[in-house]
Amino acid sequence: MAAHPIAAYLVIAFALTWAAWIPLALGTQTAEPGVGWPSHMPGLLGPALAAVIVTWLIEGRAGLTDLWGRMTAWRIAWWWLAVAGILLAGAIGVVVAGGVADPSALTLYNGIGAGVGPLATVLIVLVVNGIGEEAGWRGFMADRLLKRHSLTATALLVALPWAAWHAPVFFFIGSFENYSLGTLMGWLIGLTAGSVLLTWLYRGSGRSILLIAAWHTAFNFTSGTPATTGPVAAITSTAVMVAAVAIVIADRRKARRPPAVEFAT
């Protein structure tokens, strides 16, 4: 495990999540927004739990302390807070401009009962969906890959297993069950773009898992609820893709830039 921490992480993350999701996929019930069961929410904790398990086994208490510090890091350079804020404000602006017919549907989330309430729903999604995923995919896997790969390469290497990890939800979550081949391809492109953007935010913010978990949560609410289907979701997803392309171009230009020459004095 110490020699191959990423492989160990992937095995445990898939095992924990799929142990919760495969029985639901084999069942007859469909997960819907605002309905408490069946729910994919417990399975979303798989990546975070895998990150904790592998970190503890190979790095001990020091590693767990570092991981926890990144999961709760809120003191971030103002520039990166501004960037994340602009991205979030843009997504919210699209929702407002889209003239959402039923604002209450903005916080109807797959696998969470409507009776929980809007604030509790947001907090649950932040912890379970946001940190539950990001502590593993970015906080563990991308964190290690960035030490020897470029931002673009890291994002692509994370995107592949991240996409595969979602496979069971296509058999029990209503919005996924109806995907056509074209929709699936669009989802894969969007997820890859999201991986680029989240990896960029993670690296630039000083490795703050909390920041990218918050952004991931906000994006889900502005693109994946009953109130934001159709044009609103298309616009926010397209914006992420455009941002990802810009990040990849900048990353490639940086890689091609010749190293600075230092002169002895």
Task: Report the predicted TM-score, pTM, of the whole model to 2 decimal places.
Answer: 0.88
- Residues 58, 1: contact at Cβ < 8 Å? yes
Cα distance between residue 72 and residue 119, in whole Å: 20
Closest CA to 172 of 14, 20, 18, 24: 24
What band does 256 get if pLDDT is binned at 50, 70 and 90? Answer: confident
Work out the number of other CB atoms within 10 angstroms of the CB of residue 177.
12
What's the rounded mean pLDDT across residues 68-88? Answer: 76
Residue 85, pLDDT score: 66
Residues 6+ apart with CB under 8 A from 36: 111, 112, 113, 115, 116
What's the rounded mean pLDDT across residues 182-193? Answer: 92
Give burial (CB, 10 Å; 0-12/13-18/19+) of 63. middle
DSSP-assigned beta bridge partners for residue 33:
110
Residue 261, pLDDT score: 47
- Tokens representing residue 131 in the block: 């940190």
Span 46-63, pLDDT tens digits: 999 999 999 999 999 999
Computed over every residue of the chain, the mean pLDDT equals 86
**51-60, 94-103, 107-116, 248-257: range with lowest mean pLDDT:** 94-103
| Helices 78-97, 231-256: inter-axial angle, 10-degree rounding | 150
6, pLDDT greater than 70? yes
32-46, 51-65, 70-84, 216-230: which has the highest mean pLDDT? 51-65
Query: Which residue is associated with the tokens 């969470």?
Result: 112
Between vectors from CA 46 to CA 123 and to CA 107, what angle results, nearest 5°? Answer: 25
What's the rounded mean pLDDT across residues 95-117? Answer: 72
Residue 264, pLDDT score: 47
What's the rounded mean pLDDT across residues 224-244? Answer: 78
Residue 220, pLDDT score: 86
Residue 263, pLDDT score: 45
What band does 136 get if pLDDT is binned at 50, 70 and 90? Answer: very high
Residues 6+ apart with CB under 8 A from 151: 196, 199, 200, 203, 247, 251
36, pLDDT greater than 70? yes
143, pLDDT greater than 60? yes
Please give the residue that has the higher pLDDT: either 249 or 100. 249
Please give the residue that has the higher pLDDT: either 97 or 41. 41
The whole-angstrom distance between residue 11's C-alpha and the CA centroid of its chain comes to 19
Query: Which residue is associated with the tokens 């044009």?
Result: 231
114, pLDDT greater than 70? yes
99, pLDDT greater than 60? no
Span 161-174, pLDDT tens digits: 999 999 999 999 98
Q: Hey, CA dihedral for 79, 253, 143, 128, is it positive or negative? A: positive
